[in-house]
Amino acid sequence: MKSFKTYFFIVLFLLVSADLRSGTISGAGIKSVSMHVDQYIDCANLEYDDSPYAGRTNLGHLFIPYFKIDAVPVELNLGCWYKHVYVQYDEDESPEKVYPYMNAVFHPSGKVDFTIGNWLNLAVFPNTIYNEFIFFETRPVCSGLKLDVNNKTMNLSLYIDWIELDTEDHPEEFITGLLWKHRVFDHFYYKLFNHYHHRGGQLYKDTHPVRIEQDIAASPVLGAELYGFYAEAGYYINSFSQNFEESEYGHAGSGTIGYRGDFFNISYQCFYNKNYYHQDAHIFYLKQNNFLNRLRVDYNFFTYKDLADVNFTVNLYGLDPPGIDFRLFAKINLNVIQYTADTPADIDENSAQNSGGIRQTPEI
């Protein structure tokens, strides 16, 4: 049976072909054509005693070359992605394979983007809900549907990332997510995160083992900011069940202070875990009845017009009993070739961050 990705790309190809045949995407409707090369580098030193990779240094590299066709009313990104993980003190290496990277981003209005296809697995969830570095080891690129709504007072993202279909070889698996930030007043806002990871499928239970898992994590966050300085208080709750047994619940809380600027972000977080557990969370947040301290710095190292963008992220985690995790994360976005139509058109500033590349210092 064909994999889910095969079916997915067939549907995406048919949608794009329909636009081409109908004349929706035409020479007159194309704003620009450009080639991008995005690279993501992750270096981690894991010293946490309970980590399965304690005392090991990882170095990962994700390489994504793609063409971007910005047309009316759809933006196409066509290319491929390649991942390699170098592991010091170990012989393990990631498979040497190249995968397709394709998506169509529709703009039904100036503040709404609807993505069909692939996008980078860099969700702005807190590490308590989704480990933002986990994609180097498991799933760098998502495949599914994503909706982004951005205006002056609200930012909303909804998506479903379908990992596997239920086939004779393996059960189904998918992830859905919700990110919502709403500014209530000039200096006050709240956020809501929700992350649901499902594993299961009983259609072919006679040909492979079936283990139904429902893993849900959610967090409401209250925040206030003034002149770039901000403070946040978050509450985290999770629910985990397996094979339709009674769900296990857990909860935790955190406080964060920091400064958020155009080119430089810094934050300090104190997190207390009572009995919280979520499989996709950073391992440092899973030690129960324990305090965790995290210092994070984001720095936009270099930006040149729309041609180059280089960002660094450093995370320092500290636990009691002793354990320190150091992570350096670099994003290098290059626009190497670009053709722009003679007739200028207003391009929504959000389209760059919601589709192929990431053009802003990440929010923390």
CATH topology of domain 32-354: Porin (2.40.160)
Residues 44-65: tens digit of each pLDDT:
766 555 555 555 666 778 888 9
Q: Where are the domains of the chain?
A: 32-354
Q: Is 125 exposed, middle or buried, given 0-12, 13-18 or 19+ CB atoms closer than 10 A?
A: buried
Q: Which two tokens stand for residue 269?
A: 């977080």
What is residue 283's predicted lDDT score, i.e. its pLDDT? 73
Q: Which long-range contacts (CB under 8 A, 24 or more apart) does 183-188 make?
A: 183/152, 183/153, 183/154, 187/224, 187/225, 187/226, 188/222, 188/223, 188/224
User: Do the beta carbons of residue 276 and residue 288 sit within 8 Å?
Assistant: yes
Report the pLDDT value the prediction gives residue 99, as an integer from 0 to 100.
87
pLDDT score, position 292: 86
Tell me what pLDDT residue 140 has.
Answer: 78
Q: What is the dihedral of CA 246, 129, 159, 37, to 10 degrees?
A: -150
Q: Which two tokens stand for residue 311?
A: 């960002």
Q: How far is CA 269 from the centre of its chain?
A: 20
Predicted pLDDT at 72: 76
318 close to 293: Cβ distance less than 8 angstroms: yes
pLDDT in 10s for each residue of the chain, 364 residues:
445 555 555 555 555 555 544 554 444 477 888 888 888 887 776 655 555 555 566 677 888 899 998 887 889 999 998 887 766 545 544 456 788 899 999 988 778 999 999 988 765 677 778 776 655 666 778 889 999 999 989 999 999 998 887 777 777 888 898 999 999 988 999 999 999 988 887 666 666 666 678 889 999 999 999 999 999 999 999 998 887 777 889 999 999 999 999 888 999 999 999 999 888 887 778 888 888 888 888 888 888 877 788 888 888 877 665 455 666 777 888 887 777 765 544 444 444 444 443 333 345 4
| The amino acid at 241 | S
DSSP reduced 3-state for 44: strand
